[in-house]
Amino acid sequence: MEKEGPPPAYPDLSEEQIPAPPPYSDASGIMLIVKATDFAARKHRKQKRKDPQQTPYINHPVGVARILTSEGGITDPIVLAAAILHDTVEDTNTTIDEIEQEFGREIRNIIAEVTDDKSLPKEKRKALQVEQTPHKSRQAKLVKLADKLYNLRDIERSPPVWWDCRRVKEYFKWSRDVIAGCKGTNDALEAALDDIINRNL
């Protein structure tokens, strides 16, 4: 019997699960999302993901935004722009001041909430995520939920080539601890995270 592969990155949803389309009459919101996508694409243009296929890094922030809209029912342009920009300060030469100058204080604050301090040791950064996540804004928690869901699906489907089973399980356990601090933020995203974590632990 042929073994089933992992679930797709974006599962098919029933009609009842598909959120209503966003109000496209809000031209300023559309412009903000397009500007954020262009900005992130430029900043991440030379980066690749850690999967064996070395996929373009920009796939990740765009995918996080897609999870928020298609599975979380989120249509707030501020949250979606922040999702697209969420790794620019942590993983490129972008500064938090640059984010504020280009996108305003509200998006700047969300990005600051989801950005790790790379000057700290990795284990300390991971511990701080667990400790500080319950105190984040709802907007930051939404980005964090979608970010973790995207990453866990990526790892389930195609983990980094140098990761063994133990490393994969450690990541799933740590992610479970982080998202525990987001409980009550978005039922659909939390249910999807519970499913993938339970499937892999």
pLDDT at 78: 96
Please work out, in degrees rounded to the nearest 5, the angle formed at the alpha carbon of residue 80 by the alpha carbons of 48 and 82: 65
Distances (CA, A) of 18 to 68, 120, 146, 197: 12, 40, 16, 23
Question: Six-digit token pair at 40?
Answer: 């992130």
Catalytic residue among 51, 76, 90, 116: 90
Q: Which CATH superfamily is domain 25-197 in?
A: Hypothetical protein af1432 (1.10.3210.10)
CA–CA dist 73, 181 (Å, integer): 20
pLDDT attached to residue 193: 98
Q: Which residue ranges make up each domain of the chain? A: 25-197
Q: For residue 156, indicate whether it is catalytic.
A: no
Instruction: Convert the pLDDT of each residue in 105-164 to its tens digit.
Output: 999 999 999 999 999 999 999 999 999 999 999 999 999 999 999 999 999 998 988 899
Give the pLDDT confidence score for residue 121 in this predicted structure.
95
Candidates 51, 76, 91, 102; catalytic one: 91
Whether 194 is catalytic is no
For 3-45, the pLDDT digits (tens) are 555 566 656 666 565 555 554 447 889 999 999 999 999 999 9
